[in-house]
Structure 1
Amino acid sequence: MAKAFDEFYKSTAPIAHSEVPFIVVTESADDCPDIRVYDLTVRTPGDNPRVLLQGVNLHFKPGDRVIFTGASGSGKTTAVKALMNSWDYGQGLVVMPRNVKTMLFSQAAYAPNANLRTILNMTTEGKENFTDRELRHALQSVGLNKLVEQIPGQQVEILIDEMMNHLKNTSHLKKDVGQVAVDFVQRRIPEMFSTVQFVPNEQRNYLRQSLRTHVPESDFDDVFHRVADAMDDALMAPLQKRLALFAADIATRKRGKIYAYTPAKIKYFAWSLRRALNKAVKAYMNNDDTDDAFREIRLNEYQTRRVVDTIVNHTRDEMMKQASSGPMHQVFNAASWPLSLAAVRMKARSAVNEIVQAVTFFMEKQVMTGDTMSLSGGERQKLMIAIATLHQPDILFLDEITAALDKETGAILYKDMLDHLPKHTIVLSIAHNTHIMPYHTLHAHLENQGITVRRIAQQAPGVTPTPSV
């Protein structure tokens, strides 16, 4: 122990160990994969500090699963912070292995203000390490199926699988395969999706491959496009419905008060509106402005055209209801045609700006970020378990990671996480409850400013093991 201190300090300056005013955390110089703690003393901050741990020595090896217990205030969380180099109040030396991936999750389960894909990857946006399918499986493994919607394409893939099973079960009825598939997606999509989405290219290819086993080659292209278009239509139906109502309002307000539109003027307005909307909506969907960094594109080219058609057709129909076709009005409009065309174009551009703002607001509201996640405490902890399973860390610190879950669910998910971690991962877990103790190899109990580490004797399933003396 003294030798370790001497080796660490001799390159800086001669100093007594007791004079070091903080906890030193360093990396191993000998490539040792163990966690080694020498003479660790931990105090609370302030003018009247309280000693939580005094002269503690610990040694954990790769593969150790350690559960920390102790009374409230005994210093469990603070000890972990000291090992993580985030607590300076005290003295001692912590030697961590070099070049390892270390992760810490607490019961608060904080999620940064980023989209779900970025949160799961724990990296900056656009620097993903995992495929969307891997993210989907991780969420499903912890029971967070509802979040799969936030990974565009993966919920669509689940829909395609369900549709193919449905086709297998109904193929003996000799019905038109395309119509059976269309009826299924139109019925199932409102049940599966709460957000507007589209069928990405990867999932369109998946749909194409899946349908080939059910559709003759001579009819394949027609059936494929019917089904794919029906999926895109059903996926964007909530947006179409919202914009249809918005279009009726625009039609009423843009009609003008100086003169009533004639059918000819309305056709020109619709043409101007369509031309401007095509450009504006496509520009919005291709927007990668950093001020809108959390928005994910959830419409494709086909759906963009349908959005424009919805707006233009509803606006034109609403204006036609109020159109004037009397002889005097026709004469007036013919005489003022050059002047009124400018007013028509101006009103069309104004309508476009309102529509794009409405689309922007509608689409942004459905993208989940860390600040807008409406998840319970238990769901947030499930998300952290999914992240740990995905990233496979070498050292994993867990602070009451199942505290918000019921005992049975917490134990199942906790065991599954440990089973999927690398065998060499060192797990240091804080827990008040002992129901997860069977999944550990060491029990570290904090009491009287010390830590007693004992090996856990494995017992029959369902029996909470006791530490060996």
Structure 2
Amino acid sequence: MAKAFDEFYKSTGKIAHNDVPFIVVTESQDDCPDIRVYDLTVRTPGDNPRILLQDVNLHFKPGDRVIFTGASGSGKTTAVKALMNSWDYGQGLVVMPRNVKTMLFSQSAYAPNANLRTILNMATAGQAKFTDRELRYALQSVGLNKLVEQIPGQQVEILIDEMVDHLKSTSCLKKDVAQSAIDFAQRRVPELFSSVQSVPDEQRIYLRQCLRAFVSAHEFDDVFNRVVDAMDDALMAPLAKRLALFASDIANRKSGKIYAYTPAKVRYFAWSLRRSLNKAIKTYMKNDDTDDAFREIRLNDRQARNVVDTIVNHTRDEMMKKASAGPLHQVFNTASWPLSLATVRLKARSAVNEIVQAVTFFMEKQVMTGDTMSLSGGERQKLMIAIATLHQPDILFLDEITAALDKETGAALYKDMLDHLPKHTIVLSIAHNTHIMPYHNLHAHLENQGVTVRRIVPQAPGATPTPSV
């Protein structure tokens, strides 16, 4: 079909072209890698349409870096939408190469409501295209270091690298390695991390490899376990603090008439609470309590046990303290009056539901999604540049991709992105500012319903580029 349209447009005149009531965008059938545009007319919708482009013919080859300029309202963005088959108002033929990866990034960068790993991969977790380390390097390359901790394990890896440098720089004896590493982790974690997480298996292996240079074989396992446990404890410290406060609230609300809770009943309440909570936390860890495909479990089994211990121990201690202060504490120190064991068990189960909801809510707040990242316009554009660098498209449409960045930062990141793209990638970039023009070989200027394409003459560094005539 594309070949037939191609031949049709080459063999017929403008009257025949205008008889086609829409813009035809199709794939080439002759394996041509070029973008070819024949007699493209683009107009606005409505009863009184305005012609933006009329009878425009364009031809871009692999490796072309094209910058589109023009006055506001001249049709730059609309022309790109027409090439992307997203604008129906007009006439003409656009022939795109087939079997290519095409990406478009607009000025108002949009991030879907998914976790960062999914956004960068542009796929769900089971279809991830890149390793977490590749995602981390992509974020660091555009200056989004603050998002690295949203890739589970990568900020932990940075912590391990800093810990190794610390151990190398200190003159501690081998017997002091464990304590020195633990002290460093406890001091550095609050500075590096703003969210609760654990040490994943991949980073545990990495830590084990790093520590072998500092610890003898016979004491290695003990040192490793102490260090990794200390890291897990430090990483979940904000959750532990929150749980301690929540446990006090549970003790106050579930105690009722406090004299009814004898030590025996308090111990039974704690036992029931632990039993039910263990079951509920296991369900949470397996993600069996929701159909949320994007949920990230940031705790490991040891941390989950600590959640249970923290809640149960604090609740038991608070209730025992209140019960022991009651005047009838010694009188009713039996397991039969005035609360039955069934009532105690029901209160424990009720408390478990509240606890699991609180833990789930708190942990979900630790994971940023597209709606909760609170990124500025410039940071969102940096994120789009990182995605483009990762995915290596064959055709890349960019609409003011550096508009929210300052001149120097925008130019540097833009050049770095182009340097990391495949040589054959066709880049079509809309821009008002000319500071990124030196990184293109073609300049397409929209004016008077037409497009004038000129080759950009390379200039000395710092000079203003000039298109050739």
TM-score normalised to the size of structure 2? 0.95
Report the more deviating stretch, 253-262 or 49-58. Answer: 253-262
Determine the structure 2 residue equivalent to 1:113: 113
Determine the structure 2 residue equivalent to 1:101: 101
Whole-Å separation in 2 of the counterparts to 1:327 and 1:44: 84
Determine the structure 1 residue equivalent to 2:181: 181
Deviations 1:29-73 (A, max 9, x none): 100000000101111111111111111110000000000001111
Whole-Å separation in 2 of the counterparts to 1:258 and 1:106: 62
Whole-Å separation in 1 of the counterparts to 2:313 and 2:339: 25
1:351 aligns with 2:351: yes
Whole-Å separation in 2 of the counterparts to 1:365 and 1:384: 24
Determine the structure 2 residue equivalent to 1:50: 50
Name the SS for the 2:317 alignment partner: helix
Name the SS for the 1:298 alignment partner: coil
Whole-Å separation in 1 of the counterparts to 2:322 and 2:181: 41
Deviation of the 1:343 alpha carbon: 1.6
Mark the CA change 1:21 to 1:289 in structure 2 (over 3 Å): closer, same or farther: farther
Whole-Å separation in 2 of the counterparts to 1:417 and 1:74: 27
8 Å CA contact retained: 2:260, 2:339: no
Determine the structure 1 residue equivalent to 2:405: 405
8 Å CA contact retained: 2:39, 2:55: yes
Report the more deviating stretch, 285-294 or 268-277. Answer: 285-294
Determine the structure 2 residue equivalent to 1:86: 86
Q: Letter of the 2:424 partner, please give it.
A: H
8 Å CA contact retained: 2:68, 2:431: yes
Deviation of the 1:126 alpha carbon: 2.5
Q: Letter of the 1:89 partner, please give it.
A: Y
Q: How many residues align?
A: 463
Determine the structure 2 residue equivalent to 1:30: 30
Mark the CA change 1:425 to 1:379 in structure 2 (over 3 Å): closer, same or farther: same
Q: How does 1:438-449 map to 2 (within 5 A)?
A: 438-449=438-449
Deviation of the 1:74 alpha carbon: 0.6
Determine the structure 2 residue equivalent to 1:388: 388
Whole-Å separation in 1 of the counterparts to 2:168 and 2:111: 42
Name the SS for the 1:93 alignment partner: strand
For the aligned residue pairs, the C-alpha RMSD in angstroms reads 1.9
Report the more deviating stretch, 428-437 or 308-317. Answer: 308-317
Mark the CA change 1:326 to 1:354 in structure 2 (over 3 Å): closer, same or farther: closer
Deviation of the 1:329 alpha carbon: 4.7
Determine the structure 1 residue equivalent to 2:316: 316
Name the SS for the 1:198 alignment partner: coil
8 Å CA contact retained: 1:243, 1:311: yes
Determine the structure 2 residue equivalent to 1:216: 216
Deviations 1:323-361 (A, max 9, x none): 248896545443726962112111111111111010011
Determine the structure 1 residue equivalent to 2:297: 297
Mark the CA change 1:405 to 1:327 in structure 2 (over 3 Å): closer, same or farther: closer
Name the SS for the 2:38 alignment partner: strand
Q: How does 1:224-373 map to 2 (within 5 A)?
A: 224-257=224-257, 259-288=259-288, 291-324=291-324, 329-330=329-330, 332-334=332-334, 336=336, 340-373=340-373
Whole-Å separation in 1 of the counterparts to 2:188 and 2:25: 55
8 Å CA contact retained: 1:294, 1:369: no
8 Å CA contact retained: 2:174, 2:215: no
8 Å CA contact retained: 1:260, 1:324: no
8 Å CA contact retained: 1:251, 1:315: yes
Instruction: State the percentage of identical aligned residues.
Output: 87
8 Å CA contact retained: 1:23, 1:82: yes
Q: Letter of the 2:93 partner, please give it.
A: L
Name the SS for the 1:49 alignment partner: coil
Name the SS for the 1:334 alignment partner: coil
Deviations 1:149-206 (A, max 9, x none): 1111111111111110111001356660000000000000000111100001111111
Deviation of the 1:293 alpha carbon: 2.9
Report the more deviating stretch, 341-350 or 228-237. Answer: 341-350
Q: Letter of the 1:210 partner, please give it.
A: C
8 Å CA contact retained: 1:402, 1:414: yes
Mark the CA change 1:4 to 1:41 in structure 2 (over 3 Å): closer, same or farther: farther
8 Å CA contact retained: 1:66, 1:441: yes
Name the SS for the 1:16 alignment partner: helix
Whole-Å separation in 2 of the counterparts to 1:4 and 1:412: 44
1:378 aligns with 2:353: no
Deviation of the 1:101 alpha carbon: 0.1
Name the SS for the 1:204 alignment partner: helix
Mark the CA change 1:363 to 1:325 in structure 2 (over 3 Å): closer, same or farther: closer
Determine the structure 2 residue equivalent to 1:437: 437
Deviation of the 1:123 alpha carbon: 1.9
Whole-Å separation in 2 of the counterparts to 1:396 and 1:334: 76
For structure 2, list consecutive stretches of 5 or more residues without a partner in the other structure.
Answer: none
Whole-Å separation in 1 of the counterparts to 2:299 and 2:178: 23
TM-score normalised to the size of structure 1? 0.95
Deviation of the 1:372 alpha carbon: 1.6
Deviation of the 1:295 alpha carbon: 2.1
Report the more deviating stretch, 173-182 or 187-196. Answer: 173-182
Name the SS for the 1:109 alignment partner: coil
Report the more deviating stretch, 86-95 or 327-336. Answer: 327-336
Whole-Å separation in 1 of the counterparts to 2:458 and 2:109: 30
8 Å CA contact retained: 1:280, 1:356: yes
Report the more deviating stretch, 271-280 or 165-174. Answer: 165-174
Deviation of the 1:369 alpha carbon: 1.1
Whole-Å separation in 1 of the counterparts to 2:6 and 2:385: 40
8 Å CA contact retained: 1:294, 1:367: no
Deviation of the 1:463 alpha carbon: 1.6
Whole-Å separation in 1 of the counterparts to 2:91 and 2:356: 60
Deviations 1:60-110 (A, max 9, x none): 000000000011111100110010001111111100000000000011001
Deviation of the 1:288 alpha carbon: 4.8
Deviations 1:406-452 (A, max 9, x none): 00000000000000000000000000000000100100011111111
Report the more deviating stretch, 257-266 or 233-242. Answer: 257-266
